[in-house]
Structures are given as structure tokens and as C-alpha cells.
Homo-oligomer: A and B are copies of this chain.
Amino acid sequence: MKRNLYIGIDGGATKTKVRIEDADGCLLTEAQSGPGTIRTNVSKAWYAIIDGIQTALHKIDLDLYDQTHHYHVGLGLAGTEVAESCEEFLSQAHPFASIALKSDAYTACLGAHQGKEGGIIIIGTGTIGLKIEKGVVTTVGGWGFPHDDEGSGAWLGMEAIRLTLESIDHRREPSDFSKAIFRHFKKDLDHMVTWSNQALPTHFAELAPIVVEYVKRKNPDAIHLVERAGVAIARTYDALVKQSTLPKLPVSLLGGLSHSIEPWLPKRIRTRCKPPQGDATQGAILMIKKSEGFIV
């Protein structure tokens, strides 16, 4: 009889994370590979996923194509809001015994609350709020950039460019922060403008660490940006809670920028947020085990 292994995939805009557990929930191996979002390129995402799984399996002397194992894969991928991408993804041939696909936000929520009811707000390149209650998923935000995603890394980077351009053409006073952004482009205005006109959300998000750095240095321009981000995230939080039937919906803040924005949230929210109990790869494993009937 074949042995069942459970693979959790967290596929985002910049990287794919892989976690492999046995039937008892013991971690066997982990790995990382390239971008796993299906928003733009489904084949590239599949390649990154297969590549990451192979890397993880080789660490424990297994192979995706051996005949001694059943591999069950839970996939939490960015870009699942694009219906055609999901269809295309699921229509591909694959070597797995079973697969289940949801958004990376969904599996992050499952992981954060170990499959129990609760909500999350992810503050990364983009930002989204999501809660799961009685199996029903509710999302707030995450509709895309630049018309949504306020408070995200992409938004912080775009606003940093905006105020730097304004300081260059005399619409506002320059500050140490706007000067630092300009230095990032080697004080080459043509370069900065061309870059901005072609920048994807992930590119704008690369500037977020400069914002965070100048918040630490108490620069008023940078502080004003994280204050605005805090207001946006607070509204996402309130929208999740407003739609909840739980007296105290547990909410976790996730994503690379969550620690930088958290201090700028109202105290009532800061004191209510709880640390995540697991990550999106663990959530993806919970999902595939559930969909295969191994857990209820």
C-alpha cells in the first residue's frame, strides 16, 4: 500500500513556499522556489510549484515520480480571483494523487487559526482582509492596485514616489525621506520617472523598506504615510468585525509589513490582534487533508 504524504504550497508574487508532512502531521521537509502566483502566468506558477516540491522531496531522498507514495497537495496561490487562471491551472496534467486550490489568503487564514474560525489581514505587497466562519469566506479589500490595496507595500512605494516627485518640482518641501527615495534612483529623474511608469506592484513595494527606515528616523513624511496605512487597515479590520457573528472574532495580522504598520493601528485593534498559530503552508495542508476527508 502506498504511503500518503501531504504537501502545502504558499504561492505568492515573489516566491513559493513548500511544506511536506506525513499523515500524523509531522513536518518532514520544507523548500522554496520562484513566484507561484497564477495572476499572470499559469505555466510559470506550475513550474515553480513542481520545482519547489522536487527540491523538498530530494532533501528526504524521495521523488515526485516514485511509485511508493501518494502525494496530496493543498495549494494556496495568489491570483485565484482571476477565474480563467484557476480554470487553466486546474486543467493541467499533474502527478499528484489529489489537489485542492484556494487563494493564498484563504490558506493563510486556515493556518493562522489552525482551521478554526477567525480572520486575518495580510499587509504585504498588497493588502486583504479575510475571515472564515462556519465555512463561509468573507473578504475585504484585495481588489487590485492602484485602485485598491491602500496601506500595502505597493501603495507605500507609490506614495513615496508621489511625494518625492512633488518635492522635486516644488509642490512640497523636500525632506530626508524624499531625498533618500531620490538617492535610491541615483538622483536620476529620468530614470525614476521611466521606472515609475513601468512599475508593477512588486516594484513599488521594493521601496517600502525605505519608508519603514524613515519612520524609525521619525521623518514626518514617512510617518504620515504609515499613519494613512494604519487608517486603511483599521477600516479593513472594522469591516471584518462588522460582518462577524462571533462576539470576539480572533484576527491575526500577517505579511511582511504587518509589524511595521501594527504600531499605527488604534489601540483597540492592537490589543485584539493575536499572533498566527501557523503559516499558509500549514493552512494548505489542513485544506487538502480536509478535502480528502482525513479531518472534519
Q: CB within 8 Å of B: which residues of A?
A: 81-83, 139-141, 143-144, 146-148, 150, 158, 161-162, 165-166, 169-172, 190, 193-194, 196-197, 199, 204, 235-236, 238-239, 242-243
A141-B171, A170-B239 given; 9 more Cβ-contact pairs under 8 Å: A140-B169, A140-B170, A141-B169, A143-B196, A144-B193, A147-B199, A148-B196, A171-B238, A172-B235
Q: Within the assembled complex, what's the spacing in Å between the Cα atoms of A165 and B199?
A: 23
> How close is A53's CB to chain B, nearest CB, in angstroms?
29
Q: List, in ascending order, chain B residues with CB within 8 A of A172's CB.
A: 235
- Per a CB cutoff under 8 Å, which of B193, B236, B238, B243 touches A81? B193
Once the chains bind, are B239 and A169 in contact (CB under 8 Å)?
A: yes
Once the chains bind, are A147 and B236 in contact (CB under 8 Å)?
A: no
Q: List, in ascending order, chain B residues with CB within 8 A of A82's CB.
A: 194
Once the chains bind, are B143 and A146 in contact (CB under 8 Å)?
A: no
> How close is A195's CB to chain B, nearest CB, in angstroms?
10
Tallying the copies of this chain within the complex gives 2
Closest to A160 in B: B147
- Per a CB cutoff under 8 Å, which of B158, B204, B243 touches A170? B243
Once the chains bind, are A239 and B147 in contact (CB under 8 Å)?
A: no
Q: Within the assembled complex, what's the spacing in Å between the Cα atoms of A83 and B199?
A: 18
- Per a CB cutoff under 8 Å, which of B146, B170, B238 touches A146? B146
Closest to A192 in B: B143
Kindly name the residue among A147, A166, A235 whose own CB sees the greatest number of chain B CB atoms within 10 A: A147
Give 12 A-B contacts (CB < 8 Å), ordered by A residue.
A81-B193, A83-B190, A140-B169, A141-B169, A141-B171, A143-B165, A143-B193, A147-B158, A147-B196, A148-B196, A150-B162, A169-B239
